[in-house]
Amino acid sequence: MNSPALAKTVAMKLLDLITSLKLTIVCLAALMVLVVACTLAQVNLGMYAAVNQYIRSFVVWAEVPGTGWSVAVFPGGALVGLVLTANIVAAQLRRLELSWKKAGLWIVHAGLILLFIGEFGTSLFQVESRLAIEQGQTLSYVERQRGLELAVIDVTDPAHDDVYGVPESRLARGGDVAVTGTPITLRVKGWYQNADLVNRGPADPPSPATAGVGVGVAVREMPPVTSDDDMNRSAAYVEPVAGGRSYGTWLVSNVLGAPQSFIHEGRTYQLQLRQQRQYLPYAITLKKFSHDVYPGTDIPKNFSSLVHLSNPGRGEERDVLIYMNQPLRYDGKAFYQASFGKGDTLSILQVVDNPGWLLPYISCVLVAAGLVVHFGISLQRSMRRRSAAASVQGTLTS
């Protein structure tokens, strides 16, 4: 067999494989296995970690007990999803003829592809943040739900602050970090993703910190939290250096409340480890948060936040009521009533950026319509066959 012919055979075999119905079934079954595994894993891992391990991964890894080695045990959700998408597209193009009889299936599969694209897009582009706002407060930033930053804030000018952020991932790498926009370089001397911060006892080893509250605090490393309800208490030792001069080693942590500051060439800089912030070109004021219960019970009846939206750039000034099942969609973000606190004076809004949020809506309509068309055609055909059979039988018996 010459090589072009061989290549052709291989290509045909490959095409057969990628378009086969068996592959579809294998992919669907693999998805079922992943979904079951992901669901069960949530009991111990928490939702976020379980989804990352099983669904938003190309390969599922498992540790061989006692060795610390990980081996690939199963294709991950992302891989199965990709293969299934390729399978549907290829099979559709190759096998399914263009006819009215198959119109339903075309629509169904187009809708499914859109749904997969939507889920891929979500996993890549969706950003979740939150806005915790007290009654009467005005905020013009949202905080990322996951991910911290070390904010270096120039507070010299009382009218406004200049904020320079160093993301958590950069701190975790260690070494020297030049804070762009300032003359400061941070020397990262230690990073703890999760730690217990306690008052130093006599038995604790000497603290690396030489300035700030960190001198009196002992840091004990902890394993990162797994539950979605818990928060990592991260900590880092950093040494700001500017103009060849060190300003001491500071302990920063997202659980330390008071900001710590030092002065360099007449400018005051604060150091603060906090949730990563995204500043908005508009401001939101919480005018009133309401939390109603049914009389005589503590069953919540309604939560709502009356906010004022102010966007001078667009000349917009208006009040918006955000309540359950009724988010505010504005400027690519959606604000949802998520939680509350501080004796019903603090409202917590979930803020989501998802450029592909509309895709599932379209896909749902497509698939539903496609299934109706397809099953409608099948039902009609089978009814016709039944009535034909019945009339034959009728002729035979009469």
Partner 1 sequence: MKLDLVKIAPWVAGALALAAAAVVVSPPARVRGTDQDGFSRLPVLEGGRLKPIDAVARNSLLMIRSQQSFRFEDRTISADEWLLDLMFRPQVADRMPSFVINDPEVLGLLGVQQTSERYFSFALLAPHLDEIQRQAQAAHAIDAKQRTRFQSAVVNLFDRVYLYWKLRNTMQLAGTRGLAAEIAGRAAPDAAARQQELTEVAAFRPILPAPGNRADVWRTVGETLRTAAAAPSVDAQLAAWGRLGQAWATQDANSFNGAVAELTALVASAQPDALRLTGHEVIFNRAQPFYVGMVIYVLALLAVFVSWLWKPELFQRAAFGLLVAGAAIHTLGLASRIVLQGRPPVTNLYSSAVFVGWGAVVLGIILERIYRKGFGTAVAAASGFASLIVAHHLSADGDTMEMMRAVLDSNFWLATHVVTITIGYSGTFLAGAIAIFYTLRKHLAPKIDPATSKTLVSMAYGIVCFALFFSFVGTVLGGIWADQSWGRFWGWDPKENGALLIVLWNAIILHARWGGYVRERGIMAMAIFGNVITSLSWFGVNMLGVGLHSYGFMDKAFWALAAFDASQFLLMGLCLLPRRFWAGAAASTPAAGAPGGGSGAVKPA
Per-residue x/- track, 117-136, partner 1 (CB under 8 A)? -xx--x---x-x--------
Smallest gap, in angstroms, from Cβ of residue 264 to partner 1? Answer: 41
User: CB under 8 A: which stretch of 7-15, 158-166, 210-218, 375-383 binds partner 1?
Assistant: 375-383
Smallest gap, in angstroms, from Cβ of residue 130 to partner 1? Answer: 10
Please identify which residue in 205, 223, 295, 315 interacts with partner 1, judged by CB under 8 A.
295
Residue 265 interacting with partner 1 (CB under 8 A): no
Q: Which residues lie across from 278 on neighbouring strands?
A: 142
Smallest gap, in angstroms, from Cβ of residue 51 to partner 1? Answer: 5
Contact between 348 and 131 (Cβ < 8 Å): yes
> Which residue, 183 or 356, has its beta carbon nearer to partner 1?
356
Contact between 242 and 185 (Cβ < 8 Å): yes
> Which residue, 251 or 367, has its beta carbon nearer to partner 1?
367
Please identify which residue in 22, 287, 314, 342 interacts with partner 1, judged by CB under 8 A.
22
Please identify which residue in 68, 296, 313, 343 interacts with partner 1, judged by CB under 8 A.
296
Residue 301 interacting with partner 1 (CB under 8 A): yes
Smallest gap, in angstroms, from Cβ of residue 83 to partner 1? Answer: 15
Residue 324 interacting with partner 1 (CB under 8 A): yes
Please identify which residue in 32, 62, 172, 388 interacts with partner 1, judged by CB under 8 A.
32
What own/partner pairs with CB < 8 Å and gap ≥ 24 does 123-129 have?
Answer: 123/56, 123/78, 125/353, 125/354, 125/355, 125/356, 126/352, 126/353, 126/354, 126/356, 127/352, 127/353, 127/354, 128/350, 128/351, 128/352, 129/278, 129/351, 129/352, 129/353
Backbone angles phi, psi at 364, to 5 degrees: -60, -45
Residue 367 interacting with partner 1 (CB under 8 A): yes
Please identify which residue in 361, 384, 388, 394 interacts with partner 1, judged by CB under 8 A.
361
Residue 36 interacting with partner 1 (CB under 8 A): yes
Please identify which residue in 247, 250, 269, 336 interacts with partner 1, judged by CB under 8 A.
336
Joined tokens for residue 308: 């004022």
Contact positions vs partner 1 (CB under 8 A): 21-22, 24-25, 28-29, 31-32, 35-36, 38-40, 42-43, 47, 50-51, 55, 95-97, 115, 118-119, 122, 126, 128, 293-297, 299-303, 324-327, 334, 336, 338, 350-352, 354, 357, 360-361, 363-364, 367-368, 371-372, 375, 378-379, 382
